[in-house]
């Protein structure tokens, strides 16, 4: 049986190397297209995940912007009042006067654009400064009263 006869018999091309080159080129092209499709699919999944993440509401963004202006001490006081502490117990816990706590609260209210401690705490919760995961009353234990300061009578 000659080569030509074999090719006619089995249907294989008479020039196997040229045919193999053509098949390899087609496979390479198909692999490239598959790679492009996988990359497009990956980008689509990434875009869908980004779109699915909830973006902060306008109120949350405003709360964060307002509270970004707070000093570290004002933030500390916000957390303590959110735990139900009076001005007097905040003052004792931080080793400062009650008047200083009131001054910090006044500055906090102005910066946050609120008029009372309840609104400030709500804003703190919305912005993430104040956590609801901690049990109520989890403030650090009040420091011993400084000389000349009366004991806490529960005033707010």
Among 19-23, 44-48, 68-72, top mean pLDDT goes to: 68-72
What is the pLDDT, as a whole number, of residue 92? 96
CA distances from 90 to 77, 94, 126, 138, 153 (A): 7, 6, 22, 12, 13
Percent of the chain with pLDDT over 90: 31
Average pLDDT over residues 55-69: 76
Average pLDDT over residues 91-113: 94
Task: Extract the tokens encoding 38.
Answer: 């996988």
Residue 148 has pLDDT above 70, yes or no: no
Residue 143 has pLDDT above 70, yes or no: no
Tell me 86's DSSP state.
-
- CA gyration radius for the chain? 36
Task: Extract the tokens encoding 143.
Answer: 């420091």
- Between 18 and 83, the more confident residue is 83
Average pLDDT over residues 30-53: 82
CB 114, CB 123: distance < 8 Å: yes
What is the pLDDT, as a whole number, of residue 127? 81
Average pLDDT over residues 11-38: 83
């Amino acid at each position: 049986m000659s080569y030509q006869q074999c090719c006619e018999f089995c249907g294989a091309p008479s020039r196997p190397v040229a045919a193999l080159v053509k098949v390899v080129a087609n496979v390479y092209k198909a692999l490239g297209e598959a790679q492009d499709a996988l990359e497009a699919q990956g980008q689509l999944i990434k875009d869908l995940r980004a779109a699915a993440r909830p973006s902060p509401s306008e109120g949350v963004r405003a709360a964060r912007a307002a509270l970004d202006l707070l000093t570290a001490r004002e933030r500390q006081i916000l957390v303590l009042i959110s735990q139900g502490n009076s001005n007097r117990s905040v003052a004792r816990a931080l080793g400062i006067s009650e008047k200083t706590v009131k001054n910090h609260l006044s500055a906090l209210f102005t910066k946050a654009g609120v008029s009372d401690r309840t609104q400030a705490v709500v804003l703190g919760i919305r912005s993430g400064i104040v956590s609801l995961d901690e049990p109520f009353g989890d403030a650090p234990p009040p420091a011993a009263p400084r000389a000349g300061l009366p004991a806490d009578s529960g005033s707010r």
